[in-house]
Chain A
Amino acid sequence: MRSPPDKKRRMRQNRFNAEGQAALLVGESILMALIEHGVLTKNQLVDAIDMAILTKQQMAEDGQDVEVSRIAAGLLTMLRTSIASLTELDA
């Protein structure tokens, strides 16, 4: 049987996960909208995401939140790959 502190911790973790997911999804949607409306080009966005990936990789190498930084770099890499395949309709 799950103890109350466990339940509280699980609820807090779910909340963090939900906030992380929501932030990533809204961020990506905004990035795509920026391209769609001609505010940024696809290449400019890919460059910006590359910088974020390098930052997270460096953080992992420096021993800062190693596991989380690696996963974050992986998520950003998936985002970069996906943005790179945007169609001409978007760009």
Chain B
Amino acid sequence: MNNRPGAPEKPAVPETSGSRVSWSEGSRFPLHRPELLPHLERGEAVLTQAMAPNAKTFKPGETIVAEGEPHRYLYWLRTGWVARVRRMPDQRTQIITVFLPGDFFGVKTIFLLRQPDALEALSSVSTELLDYRDVLDLVRNDPDISMRLWWQICEDQHRLHRRVTGLGRGNAEERIAAMLLDFRVRVDRAGLVSKTFRLPMTQQHIANYLGLTVVHVNRVLKRLRDAEAITFSKGRMTIQDLPAIQKIAYPIQDALDRSAAELDEVGT
């Protein structure tokens, strides 16, 4: 999402099919209750407008929020990818979650004196930010902003539920396939190109994200390439055989992921 949305007076209500919400409209808020969409969109528009004067960019690898340190700002990710990272005393590293354009991150700053994990730029990143005290002032006067931040927390939690399942029960192929589908859908949601997308993660990043070693990541990616399911070159990932990747990821996916896959089938 490269352009900030304006505050629509009468936002479109997404199409519904039974209880399922179409991804074609309001897809940035998947499976939302239709009556909440105007509030979510308005909350985002007002908050991002307040953040707009405070732009800040980061280089790949740069720390945005340091682990264990006090921090005052909440961010909106305009472009680039950001990772929440935990580094262990024996130098093991876990990427806990990845934020893509359109996400708010550092929301916990509102509540916490110190940050439990680091936030680091995976690529060149442009953000807009606001002091948590200004965010609190806005939230007190505008429930739509509160609702949008609440949505972000729910979305982050949903992503973590997925990852707990994948890391706890998924094998390496399932984890990698599910990761590719997740990023593909989210990149698409952010209004960027979907079949081929920029994946600004090294194999070491992917290993740290999925609890694998670099050798293992390389091995699985090679197998998927050999099967002509994907191509991955110079930071660009193409899912050539979407049904094959969906089939691999299926066991560890949730109902929402599977809905997205079914809609893909309808759309192709």
Given known A29-B215, A32-B219, A78-B213, contact A86–B90 (CB-CB < 8 A)? no
* CB nearest to B248 among chain A residues: A87
Given known A70-B90, A74-B88, contact A86–B213 (CB-CB < 8 A)? no
Residues of A within 8 A of B172 (CB): 82, 85-87
Residues of B within 8 A of A73 (CB): 90
Given known A85-B170, A86-B171, contact A71–B91 (CB-CB < 8 A)? yes
* CB nearest to B215 among chain A residues: A28
**Inter-chain contact B175/A78, CB cutoff 8 Å:** no
Q: How many angstroms from the CA of A81 to the CA of B168 in the assembled complex?
A: 10
Residues of A within 8 A of B91 (CB): 71, 74-75
Q: How many angstroms from the CA of A83 to the CA of B220 in the assembled complex?
A: 12
Q: How many angstroms from the CA of A86 to the CA of B172 in the assembled complex?
A: 6
* CB nearest to B214 among chain A residues: A25
* Interface bin, chain B: 20 to 34
**CB proximity to B under 8 Å, residues A31-80:** 32, 70-71, 73-75, 77-79
- Least Cβ distance of A55 to chain B in Å? 15
Q: How many angstroms from the CA of A9 to the CA of B129 in the assembled complex?
A: 44
Query: In the complex, which of the residues B90, B173, B216 contacts A82, with contact meaning CB atoms closer than 8 Å?
Result: B216
Asked if B89 is at the interface of the complex by the 8 Å CB criterion, the answer is yes
Asked if B211 is at the interface of the complex by the 8 Å CB criterion, the answer is yes
Residues of B within 8 A of A77 (CB): 90, 92
Interface CB pairs A-B, < 8 A, 18 = A25-B214, A28-B216, A29-B215, A32-B216, A32-B219, A70-B90, A71-B91, A74-B91, A74-B92, A75-B91, A75-B92, A82-B212, A83-B216, A85-B170, A86-B171, A87-B171, A87-B172, A87-B220
